[in-house]
Structure 1
Amino acid sequence: MIQSSKLKYIYPIGLFIAFFLDGAINQVFSADLFQFPYSMISNLIIIWMVFTIFFTGQDQIHFLLWALVLGLMFDWYYTGIFGVNLFIYPLVVMAVQGIKPFVRTTFISVLTVTLVALVLSNSLFYAVFTFLRLTNVSVVFFIGYSLLPTIILNLSMVVVLYYPLKQLFRRTRGASSRTLE
């Protein structure tokens, strides 16, 4: 019970840290991340959600509810267009939860599922903005100059964060965490 209550506090705290770090990284390093024609976007929220789905019990945290709340906050605070991330984040969470039972929790599988989640999230964001006519960038330009650099940036962060976050969740879960590799 103690581990479960720790997770209920660590998950939202980590989620809000990722929320504010996404904005801070994108703002502070904007000269480097957004050099024409390239653009890289930090997606620590997606990384945090994927890690927690893999490293915690599915029944302990209401991932969809938190994804809705953070999607609404992200839309309100960063994009100003309500509903985009409000639906994208829960879709990503459902996709990751659907994939998780079929893969073991290893570095390669977490990296691969994070890749899928990042591609899904950024592609849906692009599709919605194209549909709303808020962007006029071609698919090829989007993939080459935005999606690929974004994936490289975020997978680099996954490589750096994997072991420390795995240890955080192992310590939080206590003795029952032996199932984590």
Structure 2
Amino acid sequence: MRKFLLPLLLLFIFISESIFVELFPVGLLDDARIIVPRFLMITLLFLTIYGPKKYGIIYSFIFGLLFDIVYTEIIGIYLFIFPLVSYIVSKLMKILQTNIVIVSLVTILGVILLEMGVYEMNFLIHQTSMDFSSFVSLRLIPTVIFNLVITCIVAYPLKKHFENLVTSLDV
């Protein structure tokens, strides 16, 4: 039963992103700003850092494909970017300390890489007409601030959960 806990947790977080988007009061900000919750990416990065790195990258592939199937018109953008960001973060953490502050900042860096990668891919295939400065001011900054707050809230529970996962797997 314990082996199903991680996939169920990630599936719950995957579903909670879309529920959050539906329930988040749009009128809270002006209509031009876009906030994208990246709960799944934050969790995948914490899994990559504190859990088995192999699990983090494999689940990044799986949920990147699932994300593409459910939310996008083009298969491959998130399938490519989720594991790439997880891999970059895993290599970056080999040279940095794994205290919770550094991990949170690196996780936000991962969210920035994800957002910029998705924007660039959509820009290259002409799925968006937003210029880069508009993207930064209207989407990237609000998304980073929001996800930083979420990361500060969930960092310690995720750290403990994935450390316990490693202990139970004897990795």
**TM-score, normalized by the shorter chain, greater than 0.5:** yes
RMSD across aligned C-alpha pairs, in angstroms? Answer: 2.3
Q: 1:57, CA displacement in angstroms? A: 3.2
Q: Distance in 2 between matches of 1:94 and 1:171?
A: 22
Matching of residues 92-111 of structure 1 within 5 Å:
92-111=85-104
Q: 1:167, CA displacement in angstroms? A: 2.5
Query: 1:52 aligned to 2:47?
Result: yes
Q: Which has the larger displacement, 161-170 or 139-148?
A: 161-170
Q: Deviations over 1:123-171 (max 9, x none)?
A: 0100011111111111111001100100011110010001222232344
Q: Which has the larger displacement, 8-17 or 135-144?
A: 8-17
Alignment-derived partner of residue 145 in structure 1: 138
Query: 1:155 aligned to 2:148?
Result: yes
Alignment-derived partner of residue 113 in structure 2: 120
Alignment-derived partner of residue 72 in structure 1: 65
With normalisation by structure 1, the TM-score equals: 0.84
Q: Distance in 1 between matches of 2:111 and 2:163?
A: 24
Identity fraction in percent: 25
* Amino acid paired to 1:10: L
Q: Which has the larger displacement, 164-173 or 118-127?
A: 164-173
Unaligned runs of 5+ in 1: none
Say how many residue pairs are matched: 170
The answer to whether the Cα contact below 8 Å between 1:33 and 1:39 also exists between their aligned partners in 2 is: no
Unaligned runs of 5+ in 2: none
With normalisation by structure 2, the TM-score equals: 0.88
